[in-house]
């Protein structure tokens, strides 16, 4: 497990205050301060939240009680923890670089399944509250479960919709996501050329093939929230 000195070093490397790190990790500044000072025996959950935040920020903790900064083009994620890591990265990336994000081949029941209804709603609301944010989402024709109230949805015809495999373009990042009954896998690429290429493909469908979701359908939200 990570040590107080590694946490202090990681925070200093990213030039972040205790307030900023605590806020990103969902813990109090008091808790973080005590952990950094070694003043108590922190819970495993607090340390995992801190470790996860720094790793999303490119920090790697080494076995010799040190740190190193590593930028990766591709990150491979699996399961509920991996999916949660991915969605937190969506929020943090869009917080720094707001604009329009787009998601294709979406069945939002999968998002609720792997995040849980409560956490899915919290994350959705956090993203919606980012200034100057917009969302365009392609769902299967006839799917009436639309979760994100800040998003515009359009229908893809069934023969153009590939079940349980989605792509998500946000900032300069592209995520390829596959949902199995007992697992979810995410391949997260930090590459502006791939993200731009998939975004162009997305809008070919959005502008020429997809059909707008009617207002009556748009009200059929949060059935599992």
* Residue 223: predicted pLDDT: 44
Among 35-44, 115-124, 216-225, name the one with the lowest average pLDDT. 216-225
Mean pLDDT computed over every residue of the chain: 89
**What's the rounded mean pLDDT across residues 162-166?**
94
* Residue 221: predicted pLDDT: 44
* Residue 56: predicted pLDDT: 80
Give the count of beta carbons closer than 10 Å to the beta carbon of residue 33: 12
Please give, one letter per residue, the 3-state secondary structure of the chain: CCCHHHHHHHHHHHCCCHHHHHHHHCCCHHHHHHHHHCCCCCCHHHHHHHHHHHHHCCEEECCCCCEEECCCCEEEEEHHHHHHHHHHHHHHHHHHCCCEEEEEEECHHHHHHHHCHHHHHHHHHHHHCCCCCEEEEEEECCCCCCCCCCEEEEEECHHHCCCCEEEEEECCEEEEEEEECCEEEEEEEECHHHHHHHHHHHHHHHHHCCEECCHHHHCCCCCCC
Predicted TM-score (pTM) of this structure? 0.68
CATH of domain 4-69: 1.10.260.40
Q: Show me where the domains of the chain are located.
A: 4-69, 74-218
CATH of domain 74-218: 3.30.870.10
Q: Summarize pLDDT for 106-152 with one digit per residue, the tens.
A: 999 999 999 999 999 999 999 999 999 999 999 999 998 888 889 99
Confidence band of 219 (pLDDT split at 50, 70, 90): very low
* Residue 39: predicted pLDDT: 84
Confidence band of 72 (pLDDT split at 50, 70, 90): low
Confidence band of 81 (pLDDT split at 50, 70, 90): confident
Residue 46: is its pLDDT beyond 70?
Answer: yes
* Residue 225: predicted pLDDT: 41
Q: Which residue has the higher pLDDT, 100 or 14?
A: 100
Q: Which residue has the higher pLDDT, 177 or 14?
A: 177
* Residue 214: predicted pLDDT: 66
């Amino acid at each position: 497990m990570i040590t107080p000195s590694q946490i202090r070093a990681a925070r200093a490397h990213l030039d972040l205050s205790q307030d900023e790190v605590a806020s990103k990790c969902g813990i109090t500044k008091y808790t973080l301060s005590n952990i950094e000072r070694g003043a108590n025996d922190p819970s495993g959950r607090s340390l995992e939240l801190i470790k996860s935040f720094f790793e999303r920020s490119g920090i790697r903790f080494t076995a010799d009680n040190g740190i190193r900064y590593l930028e990766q083009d591709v990150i491979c994620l699996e399961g509920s923890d991996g999916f949660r890591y991915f969605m937190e990265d969506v929020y943090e990336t869009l917080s720094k670089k707001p604009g329009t994000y787009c998601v294709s081949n979406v069945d939002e029941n999968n998002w609720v399944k792997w995040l849980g209804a409560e956490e899915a709603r919290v994350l959705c609301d956090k993203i919606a509250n980012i200034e100057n944010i917009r969302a365009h989402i392609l769902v299967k024709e006839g799917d009436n479960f639309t979760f994100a109230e800040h998003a515009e949805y359009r229908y893809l015809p069934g023969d153009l919709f590939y079940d349980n495999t989605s792509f998500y373009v946000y900032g300069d990042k592209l995520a390829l996501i596959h949902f199995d009954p007992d697992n979810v896998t995410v391949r997260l690429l930090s590459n502006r050329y791939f993200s731009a290429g998939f975004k162009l493909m997305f809008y070919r469908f959005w502008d020429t093939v997809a059909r707008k979701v009617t207002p009556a359908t748009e009200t059929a939200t949060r059935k599992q929230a």
